[in-house]
Chains A and B, each alone.
Chain A
């Protein structure tokens, strides 16, 4: 094996880092507007929710599973929480996020029950639970969108917090959303979990081989519940964050988002066969995806091509990781 291939094998994030740099440089050359702080800040802001959801998917993919239920869980947690905030008249941030996270956690545990006790394939389980949860929200909880006028003001204020702002060449102000910091904290926590705790190593071990993980003494049930529970909790958290950032709670939101997020994670070097992937890679993958899909306009490409681009990225990134991992499935 050549040195480069080996480096990519050991550090999957190198590949995506290279792709990201290449993408950014190309777009910047085509249209220097790209480099304006307002554009860069808005790209960073746009990668927050995709990125956090990507971390949820990363957990599941590391263990050798796949999750397509998280957009539904995110929306359910967000919609239920906002509804509750309005109905019960509370608008403090911490309880709100705790509630959304808790709803996501419960839903994630449902996935875990199916996957662990009924030994069902994660794709089928999460397709089912995702669809059921969406149906439940629309059929039982409500179909109407909650707009800015009804949204709890503190939630919106929170999401509008800026870390700092700079004055651009034309005199306008461009601020960096503080949500980037929230993203960084979540990412750091997941990174610490995965890299420095036995629970996290158990997730990698499970992705490397369930029987082997059992034999060295990992608790497979605990690990499975941790993975799906945590993925659900992160999704719930990200859902409310999303609602706060766009000032709307729309129960029909995020349809089809699972593909973008999975694309980001795979682009970030996670293996579709499990056992391989990192937080850094996922962050870079999310950033790359957001940069590409959001730069179509400044590249003068019709945005209807966005879905085509996402589809192609999924295929290309999956092909690249499958090629890298071909030895493992052979």
Chain B
């Protein structure tokens, strides 16, 4: 048997007091798709940086083709055929696709002058090689995320790599784009290039990889061919705990008055004749393909689609939700899909983010009562179990899961009656995810909160909801109690709609 392409033996790496990697051994074979899994902070990025020569390991060794590499530098890594696609892609938004593709090879060749004809030729070759279609003259910033990613991949492939490392490549992609990316990855593999795919999404790992290494707190906790794993095993390895799918076992009392009633809700071109009811304490899931009208439904209930027709009643009283202000007054809270750009004030502290929608309530004569505000924020940090010593830290220091708790906690401070969650755990790691689920179920049960949970994550819906609605092209096509369906059944239903 030939030596593996890359092998790490007993590698350790510390940052001051933090032991980021400990006794990590890992080998990647030629042309293999290898998945590196682990929760946030488990050391995945550090491991990548050891392989790509950004960090020198404190202990252990790194071998390429069975040869020990004494000191790996970024340049040496590139020479050995290691290319990394970082999460932010490291592209230049202000430059054209062609130039982005050509720059690094031009620099590598030590060119001093730019020939735009050569730049285009180089770029054309890179794109043809990847077998995709990209506009050479477009500025990269005008491309969608998936397009930027293709540029980054095309650029990485130009230097004939033997190992392509992708750090969480699917985070910002839609389902269809992920499928397209996987085709590209398999195509890359078919040319004998190995791919190290970093992820914390289990489905993706199971679908794309041949071998899997799971790390937790800097140590390898599981490794082997993908056939030896299923979701439960990966989750167990990643979190170190059994996260059982408990399901939301709760029955509304048969004569409870509905919290929300929607009748014939219509927004031309977006929603048609949607009717639904939510009881207090009920968690209702909404699923559907892209463009099904799920988000439009959420936005309408949050007062952001003032042009709707139809009737909306809250606690039996008819209301007209034609502004966000109104929706909030009627006790509706909305946690958007993209919390980084829509939900959080990234430059602000946790406390300020937490209090963002309650300052009106907390002020008297225009002055915020800071004592009460601080108490409220601190109380909610405790209630939502947000992992931070104090609320005056920047919110950007929190992990994805904790940031999501801040956004949810913010709305809870307003005592809402209906909580709309759009993709509540997108980009949140497994352990944190089940914590958020538990919290949502607890809130529904204890406070009688109605929850509308929009999600692409079918297990998430099955695990948390009483009922699951499926929307398609703006119409409600089914409303099923969770006992009567399953993840597979839902998956098949959606696949049939596609």
Contact = CB atoms under 8 A, between A and B. Distances in A.
Interface of A: 1, 6, 9-10, 195-201, 204-205, 207-209, 211-213, 215-218, 271, 274-276, 327-328, 330
Interface stretch (B101-109, B251-259, B315-323): B101-109
A328 B114 contact: no
A205 B112 contact: no
A212 B114 contact: no
Contacts of A10: 137, 139
B104 A212 contact: no
A275 B106 CA distance: 19
Given A9-B139, A197-B112, A205-B103, A215 B90 contact: yes
Interface in B187-221: none
A13 to B, nearest CB: 15
B106 A204 contact: no
Most A-side CB within 10 Å, residue of B112, B137, B139: B139
B94 interface: yes
B141 A327 contact: yes
Contacts of B91: 209, 212
A275 B94 contact: yes
A328 B108 contact: no
B92 A275 contact: yes
- Describe A's contact surface by its main secondary structure: helix
A59 to B, nearest CB: 15
A330 B142 CA distance: 13
A196 B141 contact: no
Contacts of A330: 341
Given A197-B112, A201-B114, A208 B93 contact: yes
B126 to A, nearest CB: 14
Contacts of A195: 114
B141 A328 contact: yes
Q: Which 9 A-B pairs have the closest CB atoms?
A: A275-B94, A208-B92, A212-B90, A217-B107, A216-B104, A208-B94, A215-B90, A196-B114, A216-B103
Contact of B90 (A196, A201, A204, A216): A216
Contacts of B32: none
Nearest to B92: A208
B321 to A, nearest CB: 27
A205 B96 CA distance: 11
Contacts of B111: 198
Contacts of B141: 327-328
A9 B399 CA distance: 36
B456 interface: no
Nearest to A208: B92
Contacts of B114: 195-198, 200-201
Nearest to A275: B94
Nearest to A10: B139
B429 interface: no
Given A216-B104, A217-B108, A218-B107, A197 B94 contact: no
Contact of A198 (B113, B137, B139): B113
Contacts of A197: 112-114
Most B-side CB within 10 Å, residue of A212, A213, A330: A212
B95 interface: yes
Given A197-B112, A216-B104, A204 B92 contact: yes
A87 to B, nearest CB: 41
B99 interface: yes
Nearest to A205: B92
A330 B342 CA distance: 10
Nearest to B91: A212
A7 B39 CA distance: 44
A205 B113 contact: no
7 contacts: A196-B113, A197-B114, A201-B114, A209-B92, A271-B94, A275-B93, A327-B142
Contacts of A200: 114
B95 A198 contact: no
A201 B113 contact: no
A225 B483 CA distance: 68
Interface string B71-96: 00000000000000010101111110
A205 to B, nearest CB: 6
B341 A198 contact: no
B425 to A, nearest CB: 24
Contacts of B93: 208-209, 275, 328
A114 B486 CA distance: 63
Given A197-B113, A198-B113, A327-B141, A204 B95 contact: yes
A208 B95 CA distance: 8
Nearest to A1: B142
A216 B107 contact: yes
Interface in B104-130: 104, 106-108, 111-114
B99 A201 contact: yes
B94 A198 contact: no
Interface string B379-405: 000000000000000000000000000
Contacts of A213: 92
A256 B496 CA distance: 68
A205 B95 contact: yes
B161 to A, nearest CB: 15
Nearest to A212: B90
A218 B86 CA distance: 17
B99 to A, nearest CB: 7
A212 B106 CA distance: 15
Contacts of A1: 142
A274 B88 CA distance: 19
Nearest to B89: A212
